[in-house]
Structures are given as C-alpha cells and as structure tokens.
Structure 1
Amino acid sequence: MSAPMQEEMASRPRGMSSIKEALGSWGDIRQLLRGGDQGAIVPVVIPKDGRGLRWLTLVWIALWAFLSAGIATTTDADWAMVPLLLLGVLSLAGAALWWWRSSIIEIEEGTVGVLTKFGAISGPGLTPGRHYLWHPWARVAYVVDVTTEIPYNAPVLACPTHENVPLKSIEFFLKFRIVDALQFVQRIGAGNFDLVLSNSVQDAIRQRSRQVRTEQAYDLRGSDVQDMQDLLNRQLARYGVQIMGCNIPDVQLPTQYRQHISTRERVAKELQAYEKEWDLTRKRRVDTLLMDIERSKKVRDAKVVEVNASLNQARKDVAQMLEEQETEAQKVKYEIETRGRTNLVAAQGEARAQEQLATAYRDNRAVLGYELARRRLDVGAQLAQHAPQPVIVQTDGGGSDSSALSTLLLAQMLPRLGEQQSSTRPKPRQVSSETVDTAQQALTDAAKQMIGNRSGGKQG
C-alpha cells in the first residue's frame, strides 16, 4: 500500500471501514477473503505464484546427460553412456512432472480468477474449480470475491444541516458486491475503490443532511435512503460494483444542541406528565360528578317513589272519602226516599180519609161546598196577603201632566203609599199545612173541573 493511501486511512474517523487488496499464498486466499487483513476488508487477493522456471533446471540436466552420453559413445568411456541416458530420461520425467504439478490451480467457490499473460489480462476470468495453466507465462494475477455482500461502515463527521449546524456524526452503513471482477480490477482496484466509495458516501450523506433541519436530524435514523442507493449505484456501476442496500443507523447531534434537545425533551416529558396528571384529575372529577349525578338520580328516584306513594295514598284517601260521601249521599237519598214514601203514604192515607169523609158527606153537598168555598177564600186571602200590592196611578192621557215635576212627585209618594198599605194590611191567620194542602188539592180539582167544563162547552 502506498504512503498517501496509508495517510488517508490514518486520517479517517474512528469506526470507518477500509478496503484493500492483499498478497497471499493459495492456501491463505479463503482466510483473507472471509476474515480480512488487520481489520481491513479484502475483496481482492493477489496470489503468490511459486511456479517460476525452476523446472527448466531438470531440462538442462537432461540435455547435458544426453550430450554427455553422445560424447561417451565416441570415446572409450562407453560404460557411462547408459547411466547418462538414464539420468537424462529421469530428468525429463521430473521436469514434466514438475511442470504438470505447477500448472494446476484451484479457484475458490464464489470467486473469479483474473488470468494474465505477459502482464496483460487474458480471457473473461477463471470460474471456480480446477484449472491447468500450461503456458509458462500465464498467471492468476487476482482472485476477486464476486458473491459475498461486503459490509461497509462510513461515519461522516461535521456534516452541516439546512441551518448550517454541523452534526457531530452520521453513521452510514451499506452492503456492496463486485458484479464484474475484470472491470473492478482494470479500472479501479481495491485501494482506490476504498477512497472513491468513502468520498461518494460522504458526498451523498452531506447532500441528504443539507435537506434536513436540525430539529429533525434524528428523523434520519432508519429513514428511506433509496435515492442515495440509486445515486451510489450510478456512480459505481462503471467499476463493476453494485450497492445491495444501505441505511443510516445513528445520528449524533452536537453536544450543546443535544443538551438543548434534552432540555426540550425533558420539558416535553414534564408537559406530557402534567397532561396525564390533568387528564387523571379531570377523569377523577368527571367520575365524581357522575357519581354525584347517579346519587342525585337515586335521590330523585327515591323522592319520585315517595311522591308516587303519597299520590297513591292520596288517591286512596280521596277514593275512600268519595266512597264515604257516596255512602252518605246514598244514606241521605234513602232517607229522602223514605221520608217521601212516608209523606206519600201519609198523603194517601189523608186522601183516603178525605175520600171517606167525602163519601160520608156526599148527601150534604151544600155543607161541603160551603166549607170548600170558605177554605178557598181562606187560601186566596193568604195568597193575597203574601202577593205584592200594585199601585195604580191614573193619569190623563190627553192632559199635559207628564212633566218632570209630576214624575218626581209621583216617585216620592209611591214609597209612602206602600208603607201605608203595609201598615193597614191585616195580619194573616195561621193556617196549618194540612189545610193548605187540602186547599191546593181543592183548587186543583176545581181548575180541572173548569177546564173540563170549558172543553165540554166548546165541543157542544
């Protein structure tokens, strides 16, 4: 890793992820890709190629043995020809075996091997599995992880808001995957990608924080960052990288503003507590009022029951009183009817007595007529005494004595004449009720007889 990159990583905020490429043997590739190197993310490993051209030594030995065997045939040392030929064959076999074994490479599952020939990338990349590199200058320059979703944490410090208030930090977390290993290796590489990704993330977060007010900064936590993901995908697509997901797990406000926010939260909590207490007090008062209303309703119902009982008692008393009055009325009615029947019986008895008396005096009609006439006169005198006495004032219709003076004199004389008549009127005799009844009966009979006579005369 170059010195500028090391300085850049040293100046990064604490907790920020770093990406780099590592150099390792074929046996360490799995560990480097899965576990990283010294806390850094390693998506690309440069394998150490131990093949080299050391197998050519055996080839040169075989050529020397064959050449020595040829020279031995031309000299007296033909006894060394067979061992030299055997050494040459064994050297060639060892060189072939060494070449075959060193050409075998195995690509891990989920990775892609970038093949180079003479330093240039050749082919689309080696798929996972066993491959044979027969070309002596063919190398696997990079092993790139293309299936793992690599997590990346990028906190941004002193990020200003809409009011230009610098936030203490904004934590940003994303997951990316290398979808094209050749583009990633050719265009950017792991170290440069770390710088590009961190700068892109900081730029996207600063753009988002500029759109948010300071009092709403906490709303960034867990908010929808799909637009930021699309922006990062557009920026990193040419490097063969795709952002799989991202979010903002935490936002830290400045200390002074956080104290202000805590004060506001404390005041809001106190206000909420006061509101709850007021709601509880109001509910308690409402419950008390409802209990009072229910108690008043019960008292009212009791009074209504009492009034209904009193009303029923009054109705009973009135009914009893009416019944008593009706009984008393029936009693009075019965008494009146009894008295009437008694009077009727007495009258009938007297009528029968009078009838018997009339039968007894049938022969002496003159006496009876005289007595009847006398009784009529007595009854008429009694009636005349009680009747009003008319005063007749005769005036000459043709005279001129109808003046106001004559009318006034006549009005003053009339009371005097009335007093004189009342003083000169004889006192009435005391007549018994039986006599009056008899006279009334006689007058009734006489009136009936007169009416009969008149009707008979008209008919004649």
Structure 2
Amino acid sequence: MEQASRTVRGQGMSSIKEVVSSWSDVARLLRGGDSGALVPVVIPRDNRGLRWTTLVWFGLWALISGFMLLRGAWGPIAMVVAILSFILAALWWWRSSIVEIEEGTVGVLTKFGAISGPGLAPGRHYLWHPWARVAYVVDVTTEIPYAAPVLSSPTHENVPLKSIEFFLRFRIVDAIRFVQTIGAGNFDLVLSNSVQDAIRQRSRQVRTERAYDLRGSDVKDMQELLNRQLTRYGVQIMGCNIPDVQLPDQYREHLATRERVAKELVAYEKEWELTRKRRIDTLLMEIERSKKIRDAKIVEVKASLNKARKDVAQMLEERETEAQAIRYEIETQARTNLVAAQGEAKAQEQLATAYRDNRAVLGYELARRRLDVGANLAENAPRPVIVHTDAGSADNSALSTLLMAQLLPQIQAGAASRSRPALRQQPQPTGDEVAQAAGSAAQRAVQAVRGRQK
C-alpha cells in the first residue's frame, strides 16, 4: 500500500510517517528514519502494565497464610516469602516507572488516554502513576529535509514542465499541537499537497523560455505561504529552494537549439568584441605613439626656441653690457677731463695767486736784504777811535801814540770776525728757493682739489 502511494505521488518524493517501536529503537528511528521514510514521531511500546501486582497479590496471600500458620513451622517462612514478594513488587514497579527521553525530543505524557502536561523534557523521569505513559516521542530540534518533486506543472503559456524539484527543511516547534491536530501520516499528505500548490502557483508566473530561472531563485514568498498554512499544526518551514527544473523533451530540444544559436551569437559577439577591442587598442597605440612623437617634436622645438631666446638674450645682454661699458668709459673720461680741467684751472688760479703773493714776498725780502746790507755796511764802515786820556796823566808821549795806532786795526779785525759768524747763523732765502716753495704749495693745492672732486 505504501509503495503504491509513493508511486502515485511520484518517485523521489519524501514521505513522513510515525512508527511504533520499543524504547531501545526510538533514537535510531528519529535520526535515521524507517525504510527511507522520515520518522519525526515514534510511539513507544509500554510494557509495564499491571503485571507487577501479581507479586503484590502473592505477597498478600503469603502474609495471610503466615498469620494462619503462625503457630506452625511454616508461619515464619510464609512471612518471609510475603516480605520478599512485596520487595520484588516494589523494585519491579520502580524499574518499570523509569522513562528516559532522548536529547532533542519531547515526550507527550498521557493519563487514562488523555494528554497531560506540557510534555516531558529530555532526561530521566519517573511515572509512578500506573496509568501514566509516554504516548509519543517527538523530535523538536532536528531540521527535517523534505524533497517534493512536482510533475506536469504548467507554465504561463500552459506548457507542462516535466518536473520541478522542490526541497525544504521543516521543524516541529510544538509537539503537543502536532500530535493533537494532525499526526505524522496526515502531515505528509498535507505537506505534499501544500508544496505542489505553491510550486504550481510559482510555475504559472513564469514563461516557458525562462523556466530555468526557477533554479536557485528566491522562494521566500513560497516559504511564507507554507508557514501560514502549517503554523497551526505546530510546524515551521526553516528554508526551501528549487534545485532543478526539467522541461519537456520536445521543448527542451527546441530550447537547446535556441541556446546553441544564442551561444553561437554570444561567441560571435565576443569574437567581434575582441576584434573590435584589438583594433581599438591598435588605434590607441598608434595615437599614443603619434602623441609621443608630437610631444617629442614639441619638446625639441621648445628647446630650440628657448635656446634661441637664451642666445638672443645673452647677445642683447652682451651688447647692452658693451654699450654700458662704453657709456661708462665715455662718462668717466669726460668726468676725468672735466675734473682735470677744473683742477688745472684751480691750480692755475692758485699758482697765479701764489705768484702774486710771491711777488710781495720777494719785494719784502728785497727790502729786508737792503736793510741787512745797509746794516752790514754800517757796521763795517770805518769808525773814528777816540782815545780819552786824562789831563792829569803824564803819558802823552809820542811812543804811546804809536802803540795805540798799531793796536787799533787788530781790535777792529777781532770785532768784525765776531760779527760775521752771527750773520752766518741766520742765512736769508734766495729768490729761487722762494719760487720753488711757491710751486710746491701750488701743486699741493691742485692735488687737494682733485681729491675732493673724486
């Protein structure tokens, strides 16, 4: 029956079911599934029952028998058997009440067949109530993968696609709501129908030639739609996508031809683009080469122009320097001649003044010399010698007169010789010396005038 259902639904579609098994197989079924089917819910077999009460009833019988045979030898033995029965019944009850919930799962607890409490968390629990049992163990942490291929899904042009592969991941977020409202078997049918409806709505929105665009497309709207439909069952869709789309064989051949032509067109366009780019690069290289040649020539012309300008500027500077030097030389020569003429004029003027002053000096010197000559002549002129004799003396003989006459020339010669050295000690300047002194003074005056003009 299950195989027929899978054939009707389509090969490759995942199936979800719940399995009844012992506690030892719960973890294996939740993690690995059963015969290729997904198993999010396991119904564990409860083997407790009330068989442990057999020991209780046996203990009560042994206890009553012991009280009845208390006086005999079997009385104590019956009492011991009763106590051992009670102990074994308690151990059996304690061991059968232990329940271990796997990590990542939730145990749904029922009492008298009704769900009780929010669910058992992972770990060890003790069910002391004899009619309390774990009815379901639900995986609430694993994101369960679910593949749902849809066959003959029509496009916008009503062309049926061969198949659309749809893959999703869901997780049970509310275990009690899941087992209360739908269960694993019914959820499989609801999920497959919801997925097919969502895929068909999406395929109706695309054109046939763009059907391959569904591969890896954004399916958040489909995820939101499925979440709105499945939230009331305590299930949340964590993610979904469309990994593959297959077109009909005839249309695929037609599309393959179009794709081949499109690829050839793209290849031709790429080749033409490459050729055009190569030509453009060649032209650009030529343009760049021409620009470099032009720039080199411009640089050469600018260098020549700068050199010519520099030569002209240097030549003009040299000519201007020569003209300036000639002008300075002419001005210097003219200024020198002017100064020389002015100095010579002043020298002549001073020389004339010196000559005029020298004439007065010469006249003064001549007059002075005349006076000196007159004085010398007056000194050297013969003077009468008067010899005074006393009237009362008796020396008036002729001999004394003769001796006096001989001694007078010698006395006059000695006086003259004493006066001449005195005259030699004060030599008087000659006329040549006076003229020479005047010329030196004139030259000094001319040099002083030239120094002030410079």
State TM-score, norm by structure 2.
0.62
2:138–2:175 CA contact under 8 A, matched in 1:
yes
1:62 equivalenced with 2:59 (yes/no):
yes
Q: 2:266 aligns with which of 272, 276, 286?
A: 272
Give 2:171's aligned residue: 177
CA offset digits 1:320-367 (Å, max 9, x no partner):
xxxxxxxxxxxxxxxxxxxxxxxxxxxxxxxxxxxxxxxxxxxxxxxx
Give 1:433's aligned residue: none
CA distance in 1, matches of 2:183, 2:159: 36
The verdict on how the C-alpha distance between 1:93 and 1:295 changes in structure 2, with shifts beyond 3 A counting, is closer
Give 1:37's aligned residue: 34
CA distance in 1, matches of 2:234, 2:141: 13
2:119–2:176 CA contact under 8 A, matched in 1:
yes
The verdict on how the C-alpha distance between 1:71 and 1:297 changes in structure 2, with shifts beyond 3 A counting, is closer
CA distance in 1, matches of 2:43, 2:62: 39
Q: Match of 2:182, SS?
A: helix
Give 1:27's aligned residue: 24
2:6–2:13 CA contact under 8 A, matched in 1:
no
CA distance in 2, matches of 1:188, 1:290: 74
CA offset digits 1:61-119 (Å, max 9, x no partner):
1112112223324xxx7111011110011001100110011001111111111111121
Displacement of 1:285 in angstroms is 4.4
Q: Match of 1:131, SS?
A: strand
Matches within 5 A, 1:265-414: 265-286=259-280
2:59–2:82 CA contact under 8 A, matched in 1:
yes
Deviates more, 1:134-143 or 1:284-293: 284-293
1:8 equivalenced with 2:20 (yes/no):
no
2:171–2:238 CA contact under 8 A, matched in 1:
yes
Deviates more, 1:84-93 or 1:20-29: 20-29
Matches within 5 A, 1:36-435: 36-73=33-70, 78-286=72-280
Give 2:414's aligned residue: none
Displacement of 1:10 in angstroms is 3.5
Displacement of 1:281 in angstroms is 3.4
Give 1:348's aligned residue: none
2:42–2:137 CA contact under 8 A, matched in 1:
yes
Displacement of 1:294 in angstroms is 7.9
CA distance in 1, matches of 2:133, 2:297: 110
Q: Match of 2:166, SS?
A: strand
Q: Match of 1:168, SS?
A: strand
CA distance in 2, matches of 1:183, 1:294: 78
Give 1:454's aligned residue: none
The verdict on how the C-alpha distance between 1:160 and 1:128 changes in structure 2, with shifts beyond 3 A counting, is same
Q: Which amino acid aligns with 1:53?
A: L
CA offset digits 1:273-319 (Å, max 9, x no partner):
22222233334444566677789899999999xxx9xxxxxxxxxxx
**Count of equivalent residues:** 302
After superposition, the CA RMSD in angstroms is 2.6
CA distance in 2, matches of 1:130, 1:303: 97
Q: Can you give the 5+ residue segments of structure 1 that lack an aligned partner in the other structure?
A: 309-460
Q: Can you give the 5+ residue segments of structure 2 that lack an aligned partner in the other structure?
A: 302-454
Displacement of 1:22 in angstroms is 1.1
Please say which structure displays the higher CA radius of gyration. 2
The verdict on how the C-alpha distance between 1:81 and 1:10 changes in structure 2, with shifts beyond 3 A counting, is farther
Q: Match of 1:33, SS?
A: helix
Q: Which amino acid aligns with 1:101?
A: R
The verdict on how the C-alpha distance between 1:224 and 1:294 changes in structure 2, with shifts beyond 3 A counting, is closer
CA distance in 2, matches of 1:93, 1:299: 114
CA offset digits 1:245-278 (Å, max 9, x no partner):
1111111111111111111111111112222222
Give 1:339's aligned residue: none
CA offset digits 1:381-427 (Å, max 9, x no partner):
xxxxxxxxxxxxxxxxxxxxxxxxxxxxxxxxxxxxxxxxxxxxxxx
CA offset digits 1:93-152 (Å, max 9, x no partner):
100110011001111111111111121111111111111111111110100011111111
Q: Which amino acid aligns with 2:252?
A: R
Q: Match of 1:176, SS?
A: strand
Displacement of 1:221 in angstroms is 1.1
CA distance in 2, matches of 1:297, 1:20: 80
Q: Which amino acid aligns with 2:230?
A: L
Give 1:318's aligned residue: none
Q: Report sequence identity in percent.
A: 77
CA distance in 1, matches of 2:294, 2:130: 113
Q: Match of 1:125, SS?
A: coil
CA distance in 1, matches of 2:233, 2:95: 35
Give 2:428's aligned residue: none
The verdict on how the C-alpha distance between 1:297 and 1:39 changes in structure 2, with shifts beyond 3 A counting, is closer
State TM-score, norm by structure 1.
0.61
